[in-house]
DNA sequence: TCCAAAGCTTTTTTT
DNA sequence: AAGCTTTGGA
């Protein structure tokens, strides 16, 4: 008898679930039930007695995906899920590393550094090595090191031939020093987590053996996003039994800039001989036009594994994908706002709409517009809670309390609030710490004992050190939440913000309270720190229906009834930097990103571009994205002002060769900005323009005006874009 | 040691 | 346009 959880699958999904032995690659197109396959497969392994829950290693990329899978698996197996090896690459690697830290010179309570700490530490290393940071920015060095880490290269494994593109071949030297510093601090950065674990599995056969015995089955989500270390890690773990199932979609590979290698998925059959490939091609999400538009676009990419998405079930043709041409980014924001409002009036839920942008800065214009219209929204990603200064400071206090050797944390708050411990005092502490090879905190203590420093800073330092001792002792007695509150109070940190008269101060205090509330959910201060280091999101408030604003990257894996895709302009999307740095590969990745965007939509997809946009505070003109021309004409509908769709004559770029036949003139409500009464426009007339401000008409030709603007000088503009003033 | 002003970069995307 | 870092003065 077939269990009903299998009955609910279509034949391709079922094949993906029931193929349990040997390597399996599931090519899962957008909206084809990927998560369902993963979770059902997990359940099936348990139901058939192939494995116990803890014998399955399930790897995801995002915490969100891990959380979702955990919930669904929990619902299926109806057992506690806490012992599961289910999480992100980084969380799972951290867990393994905490069990075997000695092989890479760490202790099991090592600190996980965030990007900020990483940068500061590397900067110190670079300065210690007299790197000319004007000529060779530390950011670049960080990139080089990260790329090595992404490829599984410890300093010992980097060959001199690979150390050619930074500071006269000195990158390797800095890399080695940086890793030494990390070890001395008992710390690991993000890249280290997978790097170290892979190194351990490579060099410690008995550790590897242990994990082979433990993990009978491996499930990997978003395989197209794995980088080389992650791939090596998986391959090592899968060597024993070869029961590895990777789910992914080469058309949704959008993380090459983070070291992801699309080759990993393209090469799967070679890496795992005898691998079976199952394609999930029935899409249950989008209407026919949306699917066809996405498919038509992605067909312009080469070197795909090849999949044909078809509508599963009985999807309707739906409405055409809309392509709107707007005058500028402000009008684009206005238009999107109006459409959102209109859709809501027609009964659609805001929670089922999303505005997906290429780059974070684009959200701002929409936010402003939505605020004006009084429409509730939520920015996903964006400035994160744990990245705010006050939260970082508080966390640094906590870290230095739990982990006295955490120099970076100590350094951050020594003089925060001001205690008169500036550069001079700091330099002395560092000198002593380096000389004796001890943590900063101990060096500071020694300085106090030895009556070094001037009396005032010394007294301040002594008080701080005594406080830390007291707080540390309090952890066992009073509990971590009480101690945390004491720390913020007694250190004067709260007081500092209370005294602060800037408008943000109140919000910061509020955030600190929120931080303490969040900490109460964790058993210890250390546990909380680990959570924050790895998860870095506190998505507490999902309450209320809000329209989502986020980047295309952040939108992967989500779906909405109505999706807005603004900013489809050359330079922005495809992004200039992607083109400059990675050429055709970059362009293809941008195209995949566009594909991801369109396939997020269930029923309505509205793409737009603006002829003018403010970049770095200056207005510049932009031509429509080439992706617009790659959308199959029979599935789209063009709207908006012709003027905007036309290539601006003054842009240095080559004009688009074809304009699709289907151009629909804007309905009245879409005509940009307040129209002027007929006949009012004559030379001498004073006018106002949204962007250029006030000016006087010097000439009229058809619908074009020559205007001498007071601020912007002489411009030729369309009459629709000015109003009489 | 601290503060204010000036100048300079930034904006691709994230665990 | 804004945020950050550097610089110069008190």
Q: A319-366 pLDDT, tens per residue?
A: 999 999 998 898 999 999 999 999 999 999 999 999 999 998 999 889
Highest mean pLDDT among A52-61, A156-165, A610-619: A52-61
Contact A24, A13 (CB under 8 A): no
* Burial of residue A650, with CB atoms counted within 10 A of its CB: 0-12 exposed, 13-18 middle, 19 or more buried: exposed
pLDDT given for residue A671 in this prediction: 29
Å between A501 CA and C9 C1'?
Answer: 24
Show residues, CB within 7 A, near nucleic chain B.
A 61-63, 88-91, 115, 139, 190, 254, 257-258, 358-361, 381, 415, 418-425, 457, 534, 536-537, 550-551, 553-554, 575, 577-578, 581, 615-617
Q: Which nucleotides of C are covered by protein (CB under 7 A)?
A: 1-2
Q: Compute φ and ψ for A218, nearest 5 degrees.
A: -125, 130
Distances (CA, A) of A267 to A12, A29, A61, A221, A305: 22, 18, 20, 16, 10
- Checking each nucleotide's C1' against the CA of A574, the nearest proves to be B12
pLDDT given for residue A45 in this prediction: 93
Highest mean pLDDT among A581-585, A661-665, A672-676: A581-585
Q: Which nucleotides of B are covered by protein (CB under 7 A)?
A: 1-3, 10-15
Which of A12, A14, A34, A307 is flagged as catalytic? A34
Distance of alpha carbon A512 from alpha carbon A109, whole angstroms = 25
Indicate the pLDDT class of residue A718, thresholds 50, 70 and 90: low
- Checking each nucleotide's C1' against the CA of A118, the nearest proves to be B15
A666 secondary structure, DSSP code: P
Å between A538 CA and C10 C1'?
Answer: 44
Which of A14, A592, A600, A602 is flagged as catalytic? A600
Å between A44 CA and B13 C1'?
Answer: 36
Question: Is A117 considered catalytic here?
Answer: no
pLDDT average, residue stretch A161-176: 86
Contact A138, A119 (CB under 8 A): yes
More confident: A540 or A536? A536
pLDDT average, residue stretch A203-220: 96
Contact A689, A683 (CB under 8 A): no
pLDDT average, residue stretch A265-293: 94
Contact A626, A576 (CB under 8 A): no
Asked if the Cβ of residue A503 lies within 7 A of any atom of strand C, the reply is: no
Which of A12, A163, A199, A221 is flagged as catalytic? A221
Residue at shortest CA–C1' distance from B9: A616
Q: Is the pLDDT of residue A684 over 80?
A: no
> Cis ω on the peptide bond leading into residue A616 (within 30° of 0)?
no
Which of A32, A179, A198, A252 is flagged as catalytic? A252
Distance of alpha carbon A294 from alpha carbon A301, whole angstroms = 12
pLDDT given for residue A159 in this prediction: 92
pLDDT given for residue A643 in this prediction: 59
pLDDT given for residue A503 in this prediction: 72
pLDDT given for residue A64 in this prediction: 83
Cβ-proximal residues to A691 (8 Å cutoff; 6+ apart), any chain: A328, A330, A612, A619, A712
* Burial of residue A544, with CB atoms counted within 10 A of its CB: 0-12 exposed, 13-18 middle, 19 or more buried: exposed
pLDDT given for residue A119 in this prediction: 87
Question: Is A222 considered catalytic here?
Answer: yes
Å between A413 CA and B4 C1'?
Answer: 23
Distances (CA, A) of A141 to A103, A144, A238, A335, A538: 26, 5, 33, 43, 31
pLDDT average, residue stretch A200-221: 96
Contact A239, A212 (CB under 8 A): yes
Distance of alpha carbon A53 from alpha carbon A63, whole angstroms = 20
pLDDT given for residue A544 in this prediction: 74
Q: How many CA atoms lie within 13 A of A368 on its CB side?
A: 10
Asked if the Cβ of residue A617 lies within 7 A of any atom of strand C, the reply is: yes
- Checking each nucleotide's C1' against the CA of A535, the nearest proves to be B15
Q: Could you read off the pLDDT of A237-246 as tens digits, one per residue?
A: 999 899 999 9
Which of A18, A19, A35, A367 is flagged as catalytic? A35
pLDDT given for residue A78 in this prediction: 76
Distance of alpha carbon A49 from alpha carbon A177, whole angstroms = 49
Contact A379, A546 (CB under 8 A): no
pLDDT given for residue A677 in this prediction: 38
Distances (CA, A) of A623 to A258, A294, A573, A582, A646: 28, 21, 11, 21, 8
Q: Is the pLDDT of residue A77 over 80?
A: no
- Checking each nucleotide's C1' against the CA of A616, the nearest proves to be C1
Distance of alpha carbon A226 from alpha carbon A60, whole angstroms = 10
Question: Is A600 considered catalytic here?
Answer: yes
Å between A420 CA and B2 C1'?
Answer: 9
For chain A, the farthest-separated pair of C-alpha atoms sits apart, in whole angstroms, at: 88
Distance of alpha carbon A719 from alpha carbon A371, whole angstroms = 29
Question: Is A659 considered catalytic here?
Answer: no
Q: Could you read off the pLDDT of A494-525 as tens digits, one per residue?
A: 988 888 777 778 888 888 888 898 898 899 99
CA dihedral A490, A496, A497, A500 (to 10 degrees): 160
Q: How many CA atoms lie within 13 A of A500 on its CB side?
A: 17
Residue written as token pair 């700091």: A426
Nearest to A40 by CA among A12, A1, A82, A61: A12
Å between A554 CA and B13 C1'?
Answer: 9
Distance of alpha carbon A8 from alpha carbon A11, whole angstroms = 10
Q: Is the pLDDT of residue A676 over 60?
A: no
Distance of alpha carbon A444 from alpha carbon A544, whole angstroms = 50
Å between A271 CA and C2 C1'?
Answer: 49
pLDDT given for residue A657 in this prediction: 27
Distance of alpha carbon A217 from alpha carbon A242, whole angstroms = 8
Q: pTM to 2 decimals?
A: 0.83
Task: Tell me which of A215-224, A532-541, A675-684 is least confident.
Answer: A675-684
Angle at A163 between CA A162 and CA A167, to 5 degrees: 155
Contact A361, A551 (CB under 8 A): no
Nearest to A323 by CA among A285, A290, A280, A281: A290
Indicate the pLDDT class of residue A721, thresholds 50, 70 and 90: low
Asked if the Cβ of residue A616 lies within 7 A of any atom of strand C, the reply is: yes
pLDDT given for residue A135 in this prediction: 78
Å between A368 CA and C1 C1'?
Answer: 15
Q: Could you read off the pLDDT of A629-671 as tens digits, one per residue?
A: 999 999 999 987 665 665 543 333 322 222 232 222 332 222 2
A670 secondary structure, DSSP code: G
Asked if the Cβ of residue A502 lies within 7 A of any atom of strand C, the reply is: no
């Amino acid at each position: 008898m077939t269990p009903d959880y299998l009955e609910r699958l279509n034949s391709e999904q079922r094949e993906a679930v029931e193929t349990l032995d040997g390597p399996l690659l599931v090519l899962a197109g957008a909206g084809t039930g990927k998560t369902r396959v993963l979770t059902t497969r997990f359940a099936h392994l348990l139901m058939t007695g192939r494995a116990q829950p803890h014998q399955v290693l399930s790897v995801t990329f995002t915490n969100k995906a891990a959380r979702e899978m955990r919930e669904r698996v929990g619902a299926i197996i109806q057992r506690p899920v806490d012992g599961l090896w289910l999480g992100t690459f980084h969380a799972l690697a951290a867990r393994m590393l905490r069990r075997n830290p000695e092989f890479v010179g760490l202790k099991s309570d090592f600190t996980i550094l965030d990007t900020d700490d990483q940068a500061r530490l590397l900067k110190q290393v670079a300065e210690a090595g007299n790197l000319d940071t004007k000529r060779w920015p530390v950011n670049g060095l960080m990139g080089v090191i990260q790329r090595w880490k992404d490829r599984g290269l410890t300093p010992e494994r980097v060959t001199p031939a690979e150390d050619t593109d930074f500071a006269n071949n000195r990158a390797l030297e800095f890399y080695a020093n940086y890793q030494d510093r990390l070890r001395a601090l008992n710390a690991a950065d993000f890249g280290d987590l997978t790097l170290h674990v892979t190194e351990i599995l490579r060099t410690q056969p008995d550790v590897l053996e242990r994990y082979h015995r433990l993990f009978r089955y491996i499930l990997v989500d978003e395989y197209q996003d794995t980088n080389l270390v992650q791939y090596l890690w998986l391959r090592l773990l899968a060597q024993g039994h070869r029961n590895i199932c990777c789910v992914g979609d080469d058309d949704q590979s959008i993380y090459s800039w983070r070291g992801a290698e699309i080759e990993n998925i393209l090469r799967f059959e070679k890496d795992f001989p005898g691998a079976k490939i199952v394609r999930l091609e029935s899409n249950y999400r989008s209407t026919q036009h949306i699917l066809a538009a996405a498919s038509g676009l992605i067909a312009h990419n080469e070197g795909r594994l090849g999949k044909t998405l078809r509508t599963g079930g009985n999807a309707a043709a739906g409405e055409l994908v809309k392509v709107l041409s707007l005058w500028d980014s402000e009008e684009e924001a206005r238009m999107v706002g109006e459409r959102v409002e209109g859709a809501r009036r027609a009964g659609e839920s805001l929670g089922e709409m999303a505005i997906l942008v290429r780059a974070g800065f684009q959200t701002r214009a929409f936010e402003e517009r939505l605020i004006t219209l009084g429409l509730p929204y939520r920015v996903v990603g964006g400035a994160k809670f744990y990245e705010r200064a006050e939260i970082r400071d508080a966390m640094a206090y906590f870290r230095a309390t739990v982990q006295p050797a955490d120099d970076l944390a100590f350094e951050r708050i020594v003089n925060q609030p001001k205690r008169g411990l500036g550069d001079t005092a700091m330099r002395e502490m560092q000198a002593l710490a380096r000389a004796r090879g001890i943590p900063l905190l101990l060096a500071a203590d020694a300085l106090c004992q030895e009556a070094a420093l001037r009396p005032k800073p010394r007294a301040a330092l002594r008080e701080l050190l005594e406080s830390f001792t007291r707080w540390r002792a309090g952890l066992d007695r009073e509990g971590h939440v009480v101690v945390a509150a004491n720390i913020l109070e007694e250190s004067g940190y709260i007081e500092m913000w209370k005294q602060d008269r800037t408008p943000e101060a109140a919000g910061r205090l509020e955030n600190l309270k929120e931080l303490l509330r969040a900490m109460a959910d964790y058993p210890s201060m250390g546990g909380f720190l680990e959570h924050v280091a790895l998860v870095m999101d506190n998505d507490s408030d999902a309450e209320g229906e809000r329209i989502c604003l986020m980047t295309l990257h952040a939108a992967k894996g989500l779906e909405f009834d109505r999706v807005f895709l603004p900013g489809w302009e050359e330079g922005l999307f495809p992004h200039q930097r992607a083109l400059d740095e990675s050429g055709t590969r970059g362009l293809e990745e941008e195209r995949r990103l566009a594909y991801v965007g369109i396939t997020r939509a269930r029923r309505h997809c509205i793409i737009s571009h603006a002829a003018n946009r403010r970049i770095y505070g200056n207005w510049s003109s932009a031509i429509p994205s080439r992706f617009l021309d790659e959308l199959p004409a029979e599935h789209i509908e063009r709207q908006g002002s012709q003027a905007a769709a036309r290539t601006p004559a003054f842009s240095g770029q080559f004009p688009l060769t074809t304009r699709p036949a289907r151009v629909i003139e804007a309905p009245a409500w879409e005509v940009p900005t307040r129209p002027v009464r007929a006949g009012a426009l004559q030379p001498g007339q004073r006018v106002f323009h949204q962007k250029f401000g006030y000016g006087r008409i010097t000439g009229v030709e058809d619908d074009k005006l020559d205007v001498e603007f007071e601020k912007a000088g002489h411009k030729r503009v369309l009459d629709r874009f000015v109003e009489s003033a």
